[in-house]
Structure 1
């Protein structure tokens, strides 16, 4: 992947996953009003106008991805991911961190679950879908671990704060999820084999490729942000990273 250093942000590199997913995230007022405005936040939103950006910090150790926005109307993890990148921008890191705060800027702009009527968490196994391009980038870059962060509404699936994982063929998926569950109190949802319940989730496709991955869910109505939901998603992300000593 063609990562390039970003002037004005020490140690930050960026490239694009796709340029057909572009969107004006600032049009999503429910999200915009809850972002902490910094030069880096402004930069992230500006770059999302041209597609799906992936950001890279550090060099060495494990390569770890924090992903959010697979469903554009799940706002807390997208806000949390921007906060996380802002927090880590000046840190000395013992691993290489990757951030995709907005997987589908267009979906986030319109506050929609799908991208061009496609559920990206049911289609990452479909060649050249947007989520499949994220999978291809994970493989190309040699990313070792993936945390995919979502929010779930009442009376939806799963409908409660949780961590998804599977025990096979990537057993460390289960170990990571168990660590986060014990650390922050999120319920565990574990499958014996990745993709056995449904196909196309980013987590499952990664695990099937033997790239250990988990999915974090926090409780929040779709398209909105309720008190504590951003903080809870951020705590899941930080717990995911703390598993690796970050």
Structure 2
């Protein structure tokens, strides 16, 4: 499916990654409460009813993806992604930016970690899983860099605000993580080789396929939004883009 220009919102383009993952984001009261419900945000939520949309801004330089919602019950990054998309909607960009605010709208609707019982961050290597379709889209579009943003609870893994990366086979993953760490203070958690700890994370599969990627984690209890978690995730996203001069 090709991108379609959305004349109502300037240079915005969109297409769907899947048509079997749709959900009513507005049924998740924690997400709805923290969104700025303007005309553009409402447009995003409406498109999520029919599947997983990917939005495109700009047409220059590097192709960069901001991804969130791989775990539907990790909410701050999904709200932050929508805020960032709102902020950059009419910006004069020197790179091409792609946004997937809600990787699995159905999971976000039900506030569930999994999609149809499958952990999408353990299955990006499994053909035709939803996260595998996202990775295939990344490769098909020629996206150069990926930031995948999550949240973690105090008693979970990693349980701290952090940036995951790997040193091989895509060493720029590690450089990006260190840049963000120095910029916003998130701790770097790095592996010598992508996928050495467990298989199927979007970040790892991208790095293994030569697309430098990082995973951002902020602290927040699962299924809710508390404190400054949205602001911290937003800061990680902006720092990630700042690495590329956005």
- The two structures have a TM-score, normalised by structure 1, of 0.99
Cα displacement string for residues 101-136 of structure 1 (whole angstroms, at most 9, x for unaligned residues): 000000000000000000000000000000000000
2:179 corresponds in structure 1 to: 179
The corresponding residue for 2:205 is 205
User: Residue in 2 aligned with 1:70?
Assistant: 70
Q: Deviations over 1:58-107 (max 9, x none)?
A: 00100000000000000000000000000000000000000000000000
Aligned residue-pair number:
246
Residues of 2 paired with 1:145 and 1:27: CA distance? 32
Equivalent position of 2:239 in the other structure: 239
SS of 1:189's equivalent? strand
Provide the residue aligned with 1:142 in structure 2.
Answer: 142
C-alpha RMSD over aligned residues: 0.5
Structure 2 counterpart of 1:219: 219
- Tell me the SS of whatever aligns to 1:221: coil
- How far apart in 2 are the matches of 1:40 and 1:240? 23
Return the offset for 1:21. 0.2
1:120 and 1:128 map into 2 onto residues whose CA distance is 11
Deviating above 6 A after TM superposition, structure 1's stretches of 4 or more consecutive aligned residues are none
Give the distance between the partners of 1:49 and 1:239, measured in 2 at CA.
30
Residue 21 (structure 2) aligns with? 21
